[in-house]
Amino acid sequence: MNLQKNIGSQAVLNNGLNMPMLGLGVWQMREGAETENAVRWALDAGYRLIDSAKLYRNERSVGRAVRSSGIRREEIFVTTKLWPTDFGRVERAFEGSLQRLDLGYIDLYLIHFPVAFIPGFASIRRRVWSTLEKLYARRLVRAIGVSNYDQSNIDETMSAATIPPAVNQIRLNPFVYDRKLIQFCQSRGIAVEAYSPLTRARRLNHPVITRIAANHGRSPAQVLIRWALQHGAIVIPIDIASKIPEAAELCGRRETPILEIARSPDFTLEKLKDALKRSAEIH
Ligand SMILES: NC(=O)c1ccc[n+]([C@@H]2O[C@H](COP(=O)([O-])OP(=O)(O)OC[C@H]3O[C@@H](n4cnc5c(N)ncnc54)[C@H](OP(=O)(O)O)[C@@H]3O)[C@@H](O)[C@H]2O)c1
């Protein structure tokens, strides 16, 4: 595994498109100055991936911040998502996101949630996927993917698809992750994207995490981002304004890979996982 990463590191998706490996998630940020400033500061810090969704109600602000950034559109990768209440009007929902973002095209459009608990939804999910394929064919979106899909949802999609999902965005941090699903996605060429990589700040004080952080002169958040990157995942923490430079620094602001912590013997994934398992706090 190539452990050297900088903030410009890119994953190559199964359609050949490059996608930055570290991005900013904007869930729960209010439309307006809050989102615009966060996106602007993130872009200034070197982030080039912004993860939004129709559900977050801040696509307009994301688009405004990207357009006013002075950075060329093609250098910035913008994700948004289709919420299940729009499964019956996919094209209209997509057009709405496209208009609110006002960036000409969307880089990655994800089915936000499979609604797998409703029986009979499989045919609806397949129809939705087929519409996403048409949007892709029209070049309105550069890659299409899914989120919160398990192996059976992916199998079901692939059984009828002409274009396989490029990405599966799932919850992934040392406390919550599905190793089999990660391996399955990666074996099918589907990039894994980690949401809630910072445990929504709930486990940043876990003794194993704080010990590793202290040993390496890093913050707990940096350790968790690094952990997800070492799983080969694309990572999208919510990174509040004051903390954006910290995550950016983790990945090296420019070309210099600074992640020497990864070379230290007690920072391997297996060691971290074992330590977490032994800990009384993990269940
Ligand atoms: N596809 C999906 O269904 C789905 C679901 C959830 C999230 N997501 C995406 O994933 C993104 C991130 O996931 P998440 O929102 O669940 O949360 P997360 O990234 O795991 O945690 C975010 C929280 O971590 C804290 N934090 C951020 N940077 C920090 C730093 N450098 N040091 C210490 N604490 C830091 C902040 O908490 P405090 O404010 O308390 O400090 C922040 O609110 C979302 O924005 C969204 O784009 C997708």
Angstrom distance (rounded) from CA 222 to CA 250 = 6
Angstrom distance (rounded) from CA 172 to CA 58 = 24
CA Rg, the chain, in Å?
A: 18
Specify the pLDDT at position 237.
Answer: 86
In the set 56, 109, 136, 177, the catalytic residue is 56
State the DSSP string of 178-231: -HHHHHHHHHTTPEEEEESTTGGGSSTT-HHHHHHHHHHT--HHHHHHHHHHHT
Angstrom distance (rounded) from CA 165 to CA 139 = 16
- Model confidence, pTM: 0.90
Question: 80 CB under 6 A from ligand 1?
Answer: no
Question: 240 CB under 6 A from ligand 1?
Answer: yes
Specify the pLDDT at position 274.
Answer: 58
Question: 210 CB under 6 A from ligand 1?
Answer: no
Of 262, 200, 275, 265, residue with least CA distance to 231: 262
* Centroid of ligand 1 to alpha carbon of 201 (angstroms): 7
CA distances 220 to 60, 204, 211, 279, Å, are 32, 6, 9, 16
CATH number for 10-278: choose from 3.60.21.10, 3.60.15.30, 3.20.20.100, 3.60.150.10: 3.20.20.100
Question: 223 CB under 6 A from ligand 1?
Answer: no
Instruction: Verify whether residue 56 is a known catalytic residue.
Output: yes
* Centroid of ligand 1 to alpha carbon of 124 (angstroms): 30
Q: Percent helix, strand, coil in the chain (nearest 5)?
A: 45, 15, 40
* Per-residue tens of pLDDT for the chain, all 283 residues: 555 666 778 999 999 999 999 899 999 999 999 999 999 988 988 889 999 999 999 999 999 999 999 999 999 999 999 999 999 999 999 999 999 999 999 999 999 999 988 888 899 999 999 999 999 999 999 999 999 999 999 999 999 999 999 999 999 999 998 999 999 999 999 999 999 999 999 999 999 899 888 888 788 888 888 888 888 899 998 876 555 666 666 554 433 233 333 334 444 455 555 555 554 443 2
